Structure 1
Amino acid sequence: MKELSHEHRIKKGNQLDISVLSSLRLCLLGSVFLSGCSSLDYSRLDGGLNPSDTPVTVDAIEQNNQIKQLGAQEHLHILATYGGVYHDTGVERMVARIVGKLKSVSENPDQTYHITILDTSNINAFALPGGYIYITRGLLALANDSAEIAAVIAHEMAHITINHGILRQQKEAEFGLANQVATKILRDRPTGKDSMIHRKFSLAQFFRNQELQADEIGIKMITEAGYDAFASPRFLQTMEAYARFKHASDATVFRFDFLATHPATSQRIQLAIAQARKISASVFGAIDRTFFLKGINGMIFGNNAAKGYIRGNNFIHPELGIMFSVPADFIMDNFAATIIASGPNDLAIRFDSVLVQKETLPVQYMKSGWVSGLDITSIQPLVVNGLSGASARVENDKWQFDIVVFVIKDRAYRFLTAAPRNAKNFLAISQETTKSFRMLSAREKASFRPLRIHVIPVKSDETVPSLAERMQGTDKKIELFRIINGLTLTTVLSAGNWVKIISE
């Protein structure tokens, strides 16, 4: 696929998410927060944590510590990629207490951790060298108790403790050098290709072994911290169930970050169960569900107003005042700066917006060189729902692209529909989407609000179907209700149980 010429840049003006990015880090050393952070009191339900007036920043990291500098260099890129930091006092206190308990049993008590909650619905957690740990709002929403979040964070702490990030860099560098040598010496000989395949397999095996090692250390940590050892395999099963739920479509592209970087195979789950049984044969750890649910009550589920909302097959951005629809059999994903809609037969639609000079004409912008390989003769002006735009085509030997741009005031809204060269319904799908693009009325802007997690008690006459009926944002209400609450098909709810509901 031809790439847009600005895609490698991350600039405020080039993104759909135009909110200012800020950063929260919960920096723990022992049981005390450094650099003006509060101390933790585990006898209190909220951990005794108050937001710091002087949070630790990247600039405060020791300049002579190369490992920490490596993490610091990537930190701002991570924030830009995932749309910034999610600030919610209840969530921050809940995560802080979990991290504090894990820190107290860590194999490296002198390690400082910088915990960042990323403001994205993507489900992921990962670590960088220097003690940087990231956990997404989407992952927190999927969990059901403190023990499950402890399992995720302990896994990432293990990566840091045994320097997996540095080892991965070294192994990838070795792999890259070996490939260069093989290419130069062996050219296209079969032995050269076989050698490269073998090295790729070895690299994948190396990463897999790291994940299993981190699982083992993480399960040991959460057990020593007093949490349920079976939280790790339990949450892996929940994430797999959610992946299947999201993947229940003919769409060819599916994004589930955690399972992409932390492969949750059935073998891995079984190994985690065996490890939990071995460690906690006679110990029953806590799940701390009440504290966890209080922490995430009211937390945004899905996307916020700054990124826009996906409602069924519609994308609505109240702050920009625009909306459009994609075909019903497409799956939309909302990234920090781009909407990607993936459909059957390798069809995909990409949408973003960038700032432009005021009074720029759509045809003029189309000719400005922002996309390579454009057929200038294919540029045509158009008007959709009273909005001025322009369309154009790009083709190569394998792919075809239909490009449509609308310019409203100082912003260009760009649609790129891609399909294999032989796709027959390509233009019809592109036109169905772009013709739905329109401005929102003032009343419509005010009517859209983010979905949130609401924790409610079950009443005596309520059942899974009746509670699921209150869910919003999905047409598979019962299935999603069971997944986010960790319920099996045979689970019967009792009066007084606490459950999560997703609604405005």
Structure 2
Amino acid sequence: MTAPVRLKSWVRAVFVAACALAVSACAELERQGQVFTAPIPPTKPAPPRMDNRSSVQHKELVAQFGGEYQAPAAERYLNEILVKLAGASDTPGQPAYRVTILNTPVVNAFALPSGNLYVTRGLLALATDASEAAAVMAHEIAHVTLRHSALRAEREREAALISQAATVIQNKQKGEEVRSSQRLSVASFSRQQELDADATGVRVIARAGYDPYGASRFLTALGRSTELRAALYGKKKSSLDYDIMSTHPSTPDRVAKAIAAARQIGAPGVGTRDRNGYLAAINGVAFGDDPMEGYVRDRKFTHPRLRFTFTAPEGVLLENSNEAVFGVRQADNEALRLDSVRDPHFESLETYVGSGWVDGLMQSSVKKIDVNGLPAVTAIARAGEWNFRLAVIQSGDFLYRLIFAAKALTDGADKSFMESIMTFRRVTPEEAHEAHGLKISVVAAAPGDSVETLSSRMVTPNRPVEYFRLLNGLEDADPVTPGEHYKIVTE
């Protein structure tokens, strides 16, 4: 991360990023103060799996998505669903799939021909019942059984050959038309693959005894999740729409087609959803960021492994990613970024700040300061219509770079930025050891409970009512039902 920081493009990216608020841990299923365990109906045990987990591809995928997450109850429950899906498959000779849960809040799933199927714990948090989880897994297996990977690779090879041929055509405009036409063909083909996998998945889960409408419900939740993240971070609705070059159809289109496929099977109400069984299985699953990779609590970010913490200015929404910590304060058109680089061992911090990693630096503003016993340098930079307050703080083998952006760097804004910089400090070994994330807790609604009372128990820092409705598949007007079980996010 030693490449120059292009400030204007970075700020633009911060304000359009669709971010995933969350954090991680373990839980318990409650009913009016007493632990309640929802019954999980006995199912045929999953067959032993060949040791595909030792493959290089498996190890690479697991490493890419945060490692394997250990949740024995959830894994066992999902494997029991896979046994039923195998019995209802269009291809009975397919390998016996087994699930690996990935330690990331990103909502994703995929399957390999080897028999490995992967779901993220972010997906487990978003799904509300067994039929939704079954729909996702059946969809991913359908991509394998329909040979989509091989077919897409073949089309991409054809596209590359045609594109190369187009470059030697003397008429440049004609060449561009050929390349554009071929790209559109590949994109359309990929969208059709997604729809075919959706339709196949709906048929398979219905034959396995699950509610075929689970697919459309989960796709609807995906759309709502995107809209909520966009609302939090100021992304325009139009920028969420899939353009013509997208390799996936838009969510509304997929929802409509998934509903149509389910209606060919029967009216709503057919098949099992097993909501209680599913909730019991994911009870205690970590929610959001792995705390050892850094986590957000309100305006405070803490990284136990790197042993530092800092607090953002009032009103800033923080989001952690592999690349950096980002923050947005929409009302004032302000943003922040925190990242780190290994100490490049410049002669001084002042020399490093002026070494070219940031554009628009005002050399006269560079000032050496002390931040809670750590050597640091602050400075100001300007790029276009944006002004920046910078800080580079040295701690151990790393330099931590804080960049605050504002359209107008007023005295008030600069004061709040400096106050935030001064909150940066090392955490003690005891603090690092006590770090813990958030978890999914499943609770029963008591008489008198409402969406508002249950969501007030949520630890999400922003819009708890909307997150409660999203995680539980509730529309705006839907009430909670006494005795029913619901997901909340707790510490």
For the superposition of Structure 1 and Structure 2, which TM-score range results when normalised by the shorter chain? 0.7 to 0.9
138-147 or 97-106, larger mean C-alpha shift? 97-106
After superposition, the Cα gap between the structure-2 partners of 1:417 and 1:105, relative to the gap in structure 1 and judged at 3 Å, is: farther
Which residue does the alignment assign to 2:70?
87
Q: Does 1:271 align with 2:257?
A: yes
Tell me the CA shift for residue 365 of structure 1.
9.4
Q: Does 1:116 align with 2:103?
A: no
Partner SS, residue 320 of structure 1: coil
Q: CA RMSD in A?
A: 4.2
Tell me the CA shift for residue 307 of structure 1.
1.4
For 1:151-204, what per-residue CA distance to the aligned partner results, in whole angstroms no more than 9, with x for missing partners?
A: 0010000001111122222223332333333334357x3333333333332222
After superposition, the Cα gap between the structure-2 partners of 1:315 and 1:281, relative to the gap in structure 1 and judged at 3 Å, is: same
Tell me the CA shift for residue 476 of structure 1.
1.2
TM-score (structure 2 length as normaliser) = 0.76
Within 5 Å, give how 1:160-309 maps onto structure 2.
160-186=144-170, 189-252=172-235, 262-281=248-267, 284-309=270-295
Which letter maps to 1:216? A
Tell me the CA shift for residue 360 of structure 1.
8.3
Runs of at least 5 residues in structure 1 that lack an aligned partner in the other structure: 6-42, 60-71
CA contact (8 A) 1:362 1:406 kept: no
Which letter maps to 2:173? P
After superposition, the Cα gap between the structure-2 partners of 1:476 and 1:492, relative to the gap in structure 1 and judged at 3 Å, is: same
2:440 to 453, 457, 461: 453
440-449 or 296-305, larger mean C-alpha shift? 440-449
CA contact (8 A) 2:369 2:375 kept: yes
Which of the pair has the greater relative contact order for Cα pairs under 8 Å at 6+ separation? 2
TM-score (structure 1 length as normaliser) = 0.74
Tell me the CA shift for residue 336 of structure 1.
4.2
Within 5 Å, give how 1:240-389 maps onto structure 2.
240-252=223-235, 262-281=248-267, 284-326=270-312, 332-336=318-322, 338-341=324-327, 349-353=336-340, 363=349, 366=352, 381-389=368-376
After superposition, the Cα gap between the structure-2 partners of 1:251 and 1:387, relative to the gap in structure 1 and judged at 3 Å, is: farther
For 1:339-385, what per-residue CA distance to the aligned partner results, in whole angstroms no more than 9, with x for missing partners?
A: 3446769986554445559x987639948999598989797644323
Tell me the CA shift for residue 55 of structure 1.
5.3
Q: Does 1:474 align with 2:470?
A: no
Which residue does the alignment assign to 2:82?
99
After superposition, the Cα gap between the structure-2 partners of 1:252 and 1:460, relative to the gap in structure 1 and judged at 3 Å, is: closer
CA contact (8 A) 1:249 1:329 kept: no
Partner SS, residue 393 of structure 2: strand
What is the percent sequence identity of the aligned residues?
A: 33
Which residue does the alignment assign to 1:10?
none
CA contact (8 A) 2:393 2:399 kept: yes
Which letter maps to 1:316? T
473-482 or 332-341, larger mean C-alpha shift? 332-341
Instruction: Give the Cα–Cα distance (whole angstroms) in 2 for the partners of residues 128 and 399 of structure 1.
Output: 46
Tell me the CA shift for residue 289 of structure 1.
1.2
Which residue does the alignment assign to 2:141?
157
For 1:275-321, what per-residue CA distance to the aligned partner results, in whole angstroms no more than 9, with x for missing partners?
A: 00102359811111121111111111111221121223432223333
Partner SS, residue 454 of structure 1: strand
Instruction: Give the Cα–Cα distance (whole angstroms) in 1 for the partners of residues 85 and 449 of structure 2.
Output: 37
Which residue does the alignment assign to 1:58?
54
After superposition, the Cα gap between the structure-2 partners of 1:475 and 1:335, relative to the gap in structure 1 and judged at 3 Å, is: closer
Which residue does the alignment assign to 1:408?
395
CA contact (8 A) 1:131 1:160 kept: no
Instruction: Give the Cα–Cα distance (whole angstroms) in 2 for the partners of residues 444 and 90 of structure 1.
Output: 30
After superposition, the Cα gap between the structure-2 partners of 1:111 and 1:456, relative to the gap in structure 1 and judged at 3 Å, is: same
After superposition, the Cα gap between the structure-2 partners of 1:235 and 1:325, relative to the gap in structure 1 and judged at 3 Å, is: same
After superposition, the Cα gap between the structure-2 partners of 1:194 and 1:247, relative to the gap in structure 1 and judged at 3 Å, is: same
Q: Give the length in aligned residue pairs.
A: 447
After superposition, the Cα gap between the structure-2 partners of 1:207 and 1:477, relative to the gap in structure 1 and judged at 3 Å, is: same
For 1:73-119, what per-residue CA distance to the aligned partner results, in whole angstroms no more than 9, with x for missing partners?
A: 4x444333321111111111121111221122222333333532111
